[in-house]
Chains A and B, each alone.
Chain A
Amino acid sequence: MTSVASQTRLARWWDGDLAYGFRRSPVAIVSALVLAVCLVAALFAPWIAPHNPFDLATLNLTDALAPPHGMAGARPEYLLGTDDQGRDVLSAIMFGTRISLLVGVAAVALSVMLGVSLGLVSGYGGGRLDAFIMRAADVQLSFPAILIALLIDGVARAVLPRGAHGDVALVVLIVAIGVSNWPTYARTVRSSTLVEKGKEYVQAARVIGITPAAILFRHLLPNVLGPVLVLATINIATAIVLEATLSFLGVGVPPTRPSLGTLIRVGNDFLFSGEWWITIFPGAALVILVLAINLLGDWLRDALNPKLK
């Protein structure tokens, strides 16, 4: 019954309710547009960026530290100026946004996978396993995510040999951020699983002898996923900020393939000599990206919340 009801609800969203709400909300439209621009700029960076900052052959050291447009000594081909090695800041931002988005989305996907599976098992299984998983989540939730991520990153650095770290840094970072965020999903999923598992369709599935694993992932999962998806949208922004913070602290993405956080960190060294654009423009890009995702996520949460209608 519930699955049918939620299916029609899904269809209704697509038919117009959600779309209508979207058309009526200027904030949602603007942030969706901004996000779309960011996404296009990031995804198609290798083809549309004015320069390739990683192609050493095209770099020209005489172009180094050119200021952005509108300032004395600006060069027409570099809209936002260049860094100390003559790399175009705008192109570096476009490539950096790519890495930031990749890490953010992958980390959120990992925490959703971890959190949803553990939450389902915990809520459906109950008993000691449930108690164990939830206490683990409690312990982790009482520390800020950044500490957990730093801990994982630090342990990975200690365990892995020195040379290997550069190659797997991105993976370590994704795992660190992903693992640091699972408890919120686990809690959400567990509480909706507890409600769903008493319903008739689950009992019916059990009676006809479907295995627990199939009940969990084919019957319960679709019905508990709604709130998780909204949470995940907003958490992409959190994950991107966390990635930028870790990279800024120097324990995230290595400077060879810089993310927005790494760009800010590198540019920070030039702040005192007056070359503010190397760090401020990537910072602005980060804020715009995060703000757009946050506003869109907030709108989505309110739009999908039947209590607010």
Chain B
Amino acid sequence: MVGQDATQEQRAQLRSDLGLDQPFYVQFARFVGRAVQGEFGLSLRQGRPVSTLLKERLPATLELAAVAALLALILGIPGGVYTALKRNSWLAQFLLAVSLVGVSLPTFLIGILLILIFAVILGWLPSFGRGETEAFGWWTTGLLTKSGLKALILPSITLSLFQMTLIMRLVRAEMLEVLRTDYIKFARARGLTDRAIHFGHALKNTLVPVITITGLQLGSIIAFAIITETVFQWPGMGLLFIQAVSFADVPVMAAYLCFIALVFVLINLSVDLLYYAVDPRLRIERLVPAH
């Protein structure tokens, strides 16, 4: 962090500025004390505060993850319902085959293939970066400009494909299970419309496992964004982290991993809380005194 021709005094000054002359446990206590306040020190490579670096990169990653999660849900759930209801139609078979490919292709290969087809051969979509962004305070968004939206298409598809196939297969399996139960037969006997049976009764009862898995997958989307961001040179936190790993930039790595850990804890907590909102049985159980 000092130049090669820095004097002995300058070096000593930097050492005491950074607290490196203190014993190990004092350094560690200081690190923890600052970390809980969101302060992780200076990046070894860029010489800037880590919190500023992360804050700059946060919007890009969150936008990408949110769009990918939304895409996975709005395509995955209907896909799962359809493949469960029309099990033998060719479209359902086709969707299942595609989902098998989605599960077995590594994420970065999907990204490379999409770049090859849509950016190199067809030249329709940009293959790297975020396009133009607009700033609102410290938050930058690419959702409002045309080039920003175009740049978002390939990365969000790449990121969501795996989650989409997972949700589709899960919804399909759960639907098939629920459609076999007695209350569905009874609902048919009552002469309810297919629509009411499928969406009012069957889909609702598949929601508990679906919420668990999608909730937990939301965390993985942010973690897997590392790969997608590397493929598309998307200027998010994952790219920052990978660069930090290859340069052994410890403060950035520590800050990113603490952030991810926080995200995972928050997501697990909200998934647990959502159970109560979705499944009335849990609420009743709470009223019954524990045995």
A residues adjacent to B (C-beta < 8 A): 142-144, 146-147, 150-151, 153-154, 157-158, 241, 244-245, 248-251, 264, 268, 271-272, 274, 276, 279-280, 283, 286-287, 290-291, 294
- B116 in contact with A286 (CB, 8 Å): no
- B109 in contact with A154 (CB, 8 Å): no
- A241 in contact with B248 (CB, 8 Å): no
Q: Assuming A142-B216, A151-B257, A157-B246, what are 6 further A-B pairs, CB within 8 angstroms?
A: A147-B223, A157-B248, A245-B106, A250-B230, A271-B115, A290-B104
In this complex, what residue of A is CB-closest to B241? A150
Main secondary structure of the interface of B (DSSP, over half): helix
- A264 in contact with B109 (CB, 8 Å): yes
CA–CA, A242 and B2, complex, Å: 38
CA–CA, A136 and B263, complex, Å: 19
- A142 in contact with B264 (CB, 8 Å): yes
- The smallest C-beta distance from A17 to any residue of chain B, in angstroms, reads 27
In this complex, what residue of A is CB-closest to B216? A142
B residues adjacent to A (C-beta < 8 A): 104-109, 112-113, 115-116, 119-120, 127, 216, 219-220, 223-224, 226-227, 230-231, 241-242, 244-246, 248, 250, 253, 257, 260-261, 264, 268
- A249 in contact with B226 (CB, 8 Å): yes
- The smallest C-beta distance from B215 to any residue of chain A, in angstroms, reads 12
Residues of B close to A276: CB separation below 8 A = 116, 120
Known: A268-B112, A271-B116. A241 touches B106 (CB 8 A): yes
CA–CA, A183 and B183, complex, Å: 38
Could you list 28 A-B pairs, sorted by A, with CB under 8 Å?
A: A142-B268, A143-B219, A144-B219, A146-B223, A146-B226, A147-B257, A147-B260, A154-B248, A157-B246, A158-B248, A158-B250, A245-B108, A248-B230, A249-B226, A250-B242, A250-B246, A251-B246, A264-B109, A264-B112, A268-B231, A272-B120, A274-B120, A280-B112, A283-B109, A286-B109, A287-B106, A290-B104, A290-B106
Among A143, A249, A279, residue most surrounded by chain B Cβ atoms (within 10 Å): A249
- A287 in contact with B227 (CB, 8 Å): no
- B116 in contact with A264 (CB, 8 Å): no
CA–CA, A87 and B105, complex, Å: 26
- B224 in contact with A294 (CB, 8 Å): no
- B106 in contact with A244 (CB, 8 Å): yes
In this complex, what residue of A is CB-closest to B115? A271
CA–CA, A151 and B250, complex, Å: 11
Residues of B close to A153: CB separation below 8 A = 245
CA–CA, A230 and B264, complex, Å: 30
CA–CA, A250 and B245, complex, Å: 9
Closest 8 CB pairs of A and B: A154-B245, A158-B248, A157-B248, A144-B223, A283-B109, A248-B108, A241-B106, A144-B220
- B104 in contact with A287 (CB, 8 Å): yes
CA–CA, A291 and B100, complex, Å: 10
Residues of B close to A150: CB separation below 8 A = 226, 241, 245
CA–CA, A273 and B119, complex, Å: 12
Residues of A close to B241: CB separation below 8 A = 150
Known: A271-B120, A272-B127, A274-B120. A287 touches B109 (CB 8 A): yes
- The smallest C-beta distance from A249 to any residue of chain B, in angstroms, reads 5
CA–CA, A286 and B109, complex, Å: 10
- A279 in contact with B112 (CB, 8 Å): yes
- The smallest C-beta distance from B219 to any residue of chain A, in angstroms, reads 8
In this complex, what residue of A is CB-closest to B108? A248
Known: A151-B257, A157-B248, A244-B106. A251 touches B242 (CB 8 A): yes
In this complex, what residue of A is CB-closest to B244? A154
Residues of B close to A294: CB separation below 8 A = 104
- The smallest C-beta distance from A176 to any residue of chain B, in angstroms, reads 11
CA–CA, A150 and B248, complex, Å: 11
Residues of A close to B216: CB separation below 8 A = 142
In this complex, what residue of B is CB-closest to A294? B104
Residues of B close to A154: CB separation below 8 A = 244-245, 248, 253
CA–CA, A251 and B244, complex, Å: 11
Contact of B223 among A143, A241, A250, A286 (CB under 8 A): A143
Known: A157-B248, A272-B127, A287-B104. A249 touches B230 (CB 8 A): yes
- B108 in contact with A264 (CB, 8 Å): yes
CA–CA, A158 and B216, complex, Å: 30
CA–CA, A271 and B275, complex, Å: 46
Residues of B close to A248: CB separation below 8 A = 108, 227, 230
- A144 in contact with B224 (CB, 8 Å): yes
- The smallest C-beta distance from A237 to any residue of chain B, in angstroms, reads 8
- B227 in contact with A249 (CB, 8 Å): yes
Residues of B close to A264: CB separation below 8 A = 108-109, 112
Residues of A close to B105: CB separation below 8 A = 287
Residues of A close to B253: CB separation below 8 A = 151, 154, 158
- The smallest C-beta distance from B169 to any residue of chain A, in angstroms, reads 14
CA–CA, A146 and B241, complex, Å: 13
